[in-house]
Amino acid sequence: MENKKLILNIEYFLQCAGNCAGCFLTRQERESSEVFNGLLLGKVNEILSKSKLEKNDNIIIGFGRGNLLNLDYDELNLLLNLINEIEQKNKDINIKYEVSTSLIGKLPLMIEKAKYLINKNKNIYFNIVINSEIASKNFWNNYQTFYGDLSKERYSWGITDETGDILVLNINPESLPSIDDFKKYFQQDGKYNGSPFNISVFPFANKLDDRSLQKLSEWLLELYEKTKDFDLNIKNIIEGVIKTSNFSSLEDVVNYHNYGKGYYYFISKNGEIIDGHFSTMGEVDYPRLLDKYKIDPDIRNAIKTLNKNKVCVFCEHKNTCLLTGAYLSAIANIGLGAKSVCPNGYQGLFEQVASNLDASAS
């Protein structure tokens, strides 16, 4: 039987010194020093036990969504205690923990805290979340120092497979970063350093125009072409969906999509458990995406909305769009007025990936 994948994201601490346009957290949340850990253990255990997990299943528990490396040492110890208790209750399953950081702050201090955490628990990794707005040379330098220092630390324990920490780039279509720049920082000695890289494209913060969507579409294609040898989640997800989703009807897509229900959970700062579809490309900001843009996550309603858009209705890649979760930002953008181009910017990329897969199969 296929191993299950379960992702559980927790709103644990929302403070961050950044102020990026398009951030889903409010200013008030980013300034708050509150830690939302009340009753968390019971909720995490409830989810894990109802999911009937086995040892080889892939379980990821993410602690987000601000910069957790702003927590002080007492608070980090509380987090470690919580993780320890989760492990005590779930001894038979392997869990990876992803702690979120924006790397905005005093870098040496953040590195020191990160090392403290990973030395206490070797299943802890980092989700380095960056908004494209601050993807400057300075940020990439910090990223490389942080990533390099943690790699050295793990290397000293004998871990040479460096694929644990993940960079999540939240793309704001109005401020697209230079692909050549960040590509450079993913290389060591001229070669790709193996770090996984995830992208989340969020809907426009303020305004929407087709020209920006067109630019986003071109940027995604450039990214794909220039990073073919990278372990790019966006590429892996699209390829995986195209290879496994040769459905003959939309009804089959709906059933396949609904099958994923239950493998993605989110615990909000209010302790509410949100049980969502596993929609990888919308995963990072899923609950707030639904809330902010009043998106109805029901896949049948999503299809109806896409079909009202004149580009989507004839799109040959609708299945891929639905199954990757890319449709979530499309629906938000349709609501904001996208009309004459693909409303999430992915159509060209889906086309390119599909044609490359065809070419390599023949």
Binding residues vs ligand SF4 (CB under 6 A)? 306, 311-312, 315, 317-318, 321, 326-327, 330, 342-344, 346-347, 350
Distance CA(227)–CA(237), nearest Å, equals: 15
- Least separation in angstroms between residue 333's CB and ligand SF4 is 8
Q: Which is nearer to ligand SF4, 68 or 326 (by Cβ)?
A: 326
Tell me, what DSSP letter sits at residue 282?
Answer: G
Cβ(322)–Cβ(303) below 8 Å: yes
Q: Which is nearer to ligand SF4, 96 or 243 (by Cβ)?
A: 243
- Least separation in angstroms between residue 308's CB and ligand SF4 is 11
Query: CA angle, 62 as apex, 292 and 349 as ends, to 5°?
Result: 60
Q: Which is nearer to ligand SF4, 195 or 347 (by Cβ)?
A: 347
Query: CA angle, 119 as apex, 116 and 123 as ends, to 5°?
Result: 115
Q: Which helix (H) or strand (E) holds 200?
A: strand 197-201
User: Residue 163: CA atoms inside 13 Å, Cβ hemisphere, count?
Assistant: 8
- Least separation in angstroms between residue 7's CB and ligand SF4 is 23
Query: Distances in Å between the alpha carbon of 312 and those of 166, 318, 321?
Result: 32, 7, 10
Distance CA(336)–CA(322), nearest Å, equals: 19
Is the dihedral angle over the CA atoms 264, 49, 274, 196 positive or is it negative? Answer: negative
- Least separation in angstroms between residue 306's CB and ligand SF4 is 5
- Least separation in angstroms between residue 323's CB and ligand SF4 is 11
Q: Which is nearer to ligand SF4, 193 or 307 (by Cβ)?
A: 307
CA 336 to chain centre: 23
- Least separation in angstroms between residue 284's CB and ligand SF4 is 18
Q: Which is nearer to ligand SF4, 72 or 316 (by Cβ)?
A: 316
Tell me, what DSSP letter sits at residue 224?
Answer: H
Q: Which is nearer to ligand SF4, 83 or 321 (by Cβ)?
A: 321
